[in-house]
Amino acid sequence: MLPADIFKEVIQNLPDQTTIAIAILKNDHISFDGLIKTAGVVLPSKNERAIFEIGSVTKVFAGYILAQWVLEGKVKLHEPISQYLPFNLHGNPPITWAQLALHTAGLPKMPHDIEQYPDYNPANPLLEYDSRRLEHYLTNLLQLDSRPGEVYQYSNLGFGILSYMTTYIEKKSFADLVEEHIFKPLGMVNSSFDAKTTSAIKGIDAAGNTCPHWDGGIMNGCLGILSSAEDLIRFGAIYLDPTNDIVNFQLENTFDVPPGGFHSNLGWGQRILPNGIPMLGINGGTAGTGASLLVNRRDHSAIAVLTNIVPEYYMEHIYPLNKQLLVSLAL
């Protein structure tokens, strides 16, 4: 059975032009598989270079950049980010770099004021939320849902702040930094932050309607990357290298999320699958796309899955199959 075969039934029940691109890495060998539904029929598709929005999979890239900063001595993981800002955070909360990347800063998922602007568009929610608005929020309106360091709470805002901070640490944009330190060294030639210069697969909703692209804007560290299965598995491969100091640092800094079984790393989530298989995982979605990067360091395997499926359906029907595929690689 080909890897894509386990997804056929799911794709068959979705609208025309639904497509899925799959990359598999096992013992240094990479293979690809893909499907597309067209005219009611699910067919094989050679789509490893097709470009998709990967949504929150972007957060792993941000975690990697943070780990690199720490190892280069540019920041200290457990020191407050306020030391690097030219303004004070509202209420002076002692939020650290680690807490941003572990989802433990007490920050909400999104800024509280984002929907209050007259040009807010839920079809592309971050498009108009620029540095001026983010700075206004951080200095005047910032509210925490818990004390920093105490509770795991998934936050796009936390990673948005992290990528925004590249302005002060590197004097360049987060997109330029990722291009310089990750895309170019790994040969990720089909990856970027700019949908205008790429021919990305259009996301589609449950009814088959085309969905708009989501721009990360000033907070593009939380969801800004567009990539391909071929490129994403190249990035995943670096997490199978036990000698990579940046990777090891990124993964050894964790927050254990009660009641147990899930650990937050710097951008990753870590859990144990059935049969005792250790998995690093990150999922992402935008208006009409879903993506995953899953890694099993113990058995030297990884998979990247990219689709134009709405996130809710992706997480319910595709993500469990992704885990099933990763387990099969270890057997």
Which pLDDT tens digit goes with each residue over 282-308? 999 999 999 999 999 999 999 999 999
What six digits make up the tokens of 184? 């170019």
* Res 1: pLDDT: 64
pLDDT at residue 2 greater than cutoff 80: no
Look at residue 272 in the predicted model and tell me its pLDDT. Answer: 95
Is 264 a residue whose pLDDT tops 80? yes
Whether the Cβ atoms of residue 71 and residue 293 lie closer than 8 Å to each other: no
β-partners of residue 30 are 25
- Percent of the chain past pLDDT 70, that is, above it, reads 100
Identify the pLDDT of residue 260: 79
Question: pLDDT (tens digit, 9 = 90+) per residue, 97-126?
Answer: 999 999 999 999 999 999 999 999 999 999
Task: Taking residues 7-13, report their average pLDDT.
Answer: 95
129-133 contact pairs (CB < 8 A, 24+)? 129/217, 129/218, 129/219, 130/217, 130/218, 131/164, 131/167, 131/218
**pLDDT at position 180 over 90:** yes
pLDDT at 158 over 70: yes
Is residue 81 within 8 A of residue 166, CB to CB? The reply is no
pLDDT range class, residue 3, cuts 50, 70, 90:
confident
Query: Strand locations in 13-122, DSSP E?
Result: 19-26, 29-38, 41-44, 52-53
What pLDDT shows up at residue 206? 86
On the 0-12 / 13-18 / 19+ scale of CB atoms within 10 A, 119 is: exposed
Q: Is the pTM of this model over 0.85?
A: yes
Q: Per DSSP, which regions of 104-242 are E strands?
A: 226-227
3-state secondary structure of 74: coil
Task: Give the residue carrying structure tokens 């937050």.
Answer: 264
Q: Which amino acid is at 71?
A: L
pLDDT single digits (tens) 24-76: 999 999 999 999 999 999 999 999 999 999 999 999 999 999 999 999 999 99
Q: What is the pLDDT of residues 93-102, one digit of tens each?
A: 999 999 999 9
Q: At 90, is the secondary structure helix, strand, or coil? A: coil
Residue 263 CB neighbour total at 10 angstroms: 18
Round the average pLDDT of the chain to a whole number and report it.
96
Which of 147, 321, 295 is closest to 232 using CA atoms? 295
* 275, pLDDT greater than 90: no
Residue 262 phi, psi (nearest 5): -125, 135
Q: How far apart are CA 283 and CA 60, in angstroms?
A: 10
Residue 316 predicted with pLDDT over 80: yes
Residue 259 pLDDT class (50, 70, 90 cuts): confident
